[in-house]
Amino acid sequence: AQKVTQAQTEISVVEKEDVTLDCVYETRDTTYYLFWYKQPPSGELVFLIRRNSFDEQNEISGRYSWNFQKSTSSFNFTITASQVVDSAVYFCALREHFGNEKLTFGTGTRLTIIP
């Protein structure tokens, strides 16, 4: 069965510091998809990134970067030069290719950026 673990329940950093959110997943499929979503205090779920299992290239988008390592089943998310607006709950999620299309979410990491 698929499983996503976000071991960090809460993280607080001072503004402008870098922070990494960890995500470890389990799946029996050889093809799968990984996601990160942001949930700000307003409550909506904001899609950040999708990564396919066959594409291990890391990705950078502005201050955000993602490190995908199949060898350790991890898909970590780093925010560089954090800002107060980054304060949110961040969810990592997994979808198996041959599954029934559901997303399995981790328990989320609450990130607080201290001004």
Partner 1 sequence: DTAVSQTPKYLVTQMGNDKSIKCEQNLGHDTMYWYKQDSKKFLKIMFSYNNKELIINETVPNRFSPKSPDKAHLNLHINSLELGDSAVYFCASSPIAGQSSYNEQFFGPGTRLTVL
Q: Is the CB of 68 or the CB of 108 nearer to partner 1? A: 108
Distances (CA, A) of 8 to 28, 65, 66, 99: 24, 18, 16, 27
Q: Considering the complex, what minimum distance in angstroms separates the CB of residue 2 from partner 1? A: 11
Which is it for strands 46-52 and 32-39: parallel, antiparallel or unpaired? Answer: antiparallel
In the complex, least distance from residue 60 CB atom to partner 1, rounded to whole angstroms: 19
Residues at the contact surface with partner 1, assessed by CB under 8 A: 33, 35, 37, 39, 43-45, 47, 50, 52, 89, 91, 95, 100-105, 107-108, 110
Closest distance of CB 9 from partner 1, Å: 10
User: Ramachandran region of residue 96, left (φ > 0), alpha (ψ -120 to 50) or beta?
Assistant: beta
